C-alpha cells in the first residue's frame, strides 16, 4: 500500500531556476507547474522555518519511480546554489531584522511625567467645560468633576507627592537599566544566531532538522485503513510521529536516501 506522495521529499529541499540553471530543472519546474518566484519563496520559507512545505503534490505523484532519486540530487544542488546567491542573502538579511530583539522603552523623567500628566488633566477640564455648554442641566455634576481635576492639578507640583519624586525616577531608571542589560544579552545571542549576510547557521539548522527527523524512518511499517477512509500506520507509535517523518515515509526509501545523502554532503561542507 506504499503508494508514495512520490517525490515529496524533493520539495522539502525546494529548488529554483534562472537563466544559467540546468535545463533539467527548468523542465521539472514546468512539469510541476511551479513558477520560479513561487519556488524561490518556498525555498526561503522552508529554510527559515525550518519547515518542509510541499508544493504541487498532485504533479509530484506523476513522476516515475526511477526518476525520483536523480531529480532529488539535481534539485538539492540547485537549492544549495540558490541559498548562496545574493538574492537569498538579501532575503535573509531582511528576515534577520525581523528577529532582532526590540529594546525596552526609556522611561520618562519626572519633569516629562509632570508635563504629560498636567496636559491630560487640563484636557479633561476643557472637555468638562464643553459638556457644561452642551448639557447645562448637568452643570453641577460637571463642575464637581472639574473641581476634582483641579485638586489633582495642585498635587502635581506637591513636593511630597511620591508619584513625581526623585525616588520614583530612580526606581524607573533602575528598572530600565536592568531591562537594557537583558536586551544587550538578547542582541548578542541574535547576532550569534543570525550573523549579518551569512545564512549558513539557518541553513545548517534546516538540514539538521531534516536529517534528525528522517534518520529512523521504518519503510517496513504496515499501513491499515483508518476512520474516514484515511490510511494510517498499524503501529500507533508511528501514527504519533511528526509530519516530516511521515512525509519521508511516503516519499519512499530510494527518494529519502538520495535526499539524506545530499543533505549530509551539504551539511559537511557548511561545518
- Give a yes or no: residue 105 inside a domain: no
pLDDT score at 235: 97
Tally of domains in the chain: 2
Shared domain check, 246 and 120: no
Shared domain check, 83 and 121: no
pLDDT score at 167: 93
Pick from 185, 219, 234: which residue ends a domain?
185
Closest among 12, 4, 7 to 244, alpha carbons compared: 12
- Give a yes or no: residue 30 inside a domain: yes
Shared domain check, 91 and 209: yes
Pick from 118, 152, 185: which residue ends a domain?
185
The answer to which of 11-15, 32-36, 215-219 has the lowest mean pLDDT is: 11-15
Pick from 165, 185, 205: which residue ends a domain?
185
Q: Supply the pTM of this predicted model.
A: 0.79
pLDDT in tens, 86-109: 999 999 999 999 999 999 999 999
Domain that residue 230 falls in = 8-99+194-270
Shared domain check, 92 and 27: yes
Shared domain check, 234 and 164: no
Amino acid at each position: 500500500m506504499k503508494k508514495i506522495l512520490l517525490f515529496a521529499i524533493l520539495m522539502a529541499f525546494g529548488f529554483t531556476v534562472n537563466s544559467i540553471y540546468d535545463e533539467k530543472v527548468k523542465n521539472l519546474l514546468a512539469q510541476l507547474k511551479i513558477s520560479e518566484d513561487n519556488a524561490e519563496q518556498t525555498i526561503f520559507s522552508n529554510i527559515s522555518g525550518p519547515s518542509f512545505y510541499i508544493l504541487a503534490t498532485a504533479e509530484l505523484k506523476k513522476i516515475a519511480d526511477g526518476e525520483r532519486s536523480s531529480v532529488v540530487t539535481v534539485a538539492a544542488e540547485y537549492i544549495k546554489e540558490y541559498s548562496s546567491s545574493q538574492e537569498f542573502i538579501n532575503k535573509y538579511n531582511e528576515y534577520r531584522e525581523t528577529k532582532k530583539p526590540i529594546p525596552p522603552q526609556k522611561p520618562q523623567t519626572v519633569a516629562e511625567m509632570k508635563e504629560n500628566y498636567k496636559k491630560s488633566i487640563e484636557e479633561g477640564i476643557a472637555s468638562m467645560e464643553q459638556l457644561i455648554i452642551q448639557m447645562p442641566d448637568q452643570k453641577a455634576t460637571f463642575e464637581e468633576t472639574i473641581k476634582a481635576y483641579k485638586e489633582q492639578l495642585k498635587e502635581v507640583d506637591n513636593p511630597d507627592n511620591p508619584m513625581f519624586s526623585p525616588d520614583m525616577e530612580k526606581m524607573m531608571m533602575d528598572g530600565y537599566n536592568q531591562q537594557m542589560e537583558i536586551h544587550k544579552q538578547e542582541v548578542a545571542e541574535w547576532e550569534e544566531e543570525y550573523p549579518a549576510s551569512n545564512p549558513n547557521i539557518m541553513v545548517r539548522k534546516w538540514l539538521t532538522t531534516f536529517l534528525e527527523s528522517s534518520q529512523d524512518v521504518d519503510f517496513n511499517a504496515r499501513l491499515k485503513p483508518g476512520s474516514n477512509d484515511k490510511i494510517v500506520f498499524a503501529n500507533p507509535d508511528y501514527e504519533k510521529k511528526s509530519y516530516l517523518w511521515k512525509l519521508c515515509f511516503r516519499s519512499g526509501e530510494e527518494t529519502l536516501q538520495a535526499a539524506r545523502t545530499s543533505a549530509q554532503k551539504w551539511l559537511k561542507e557548511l561545518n
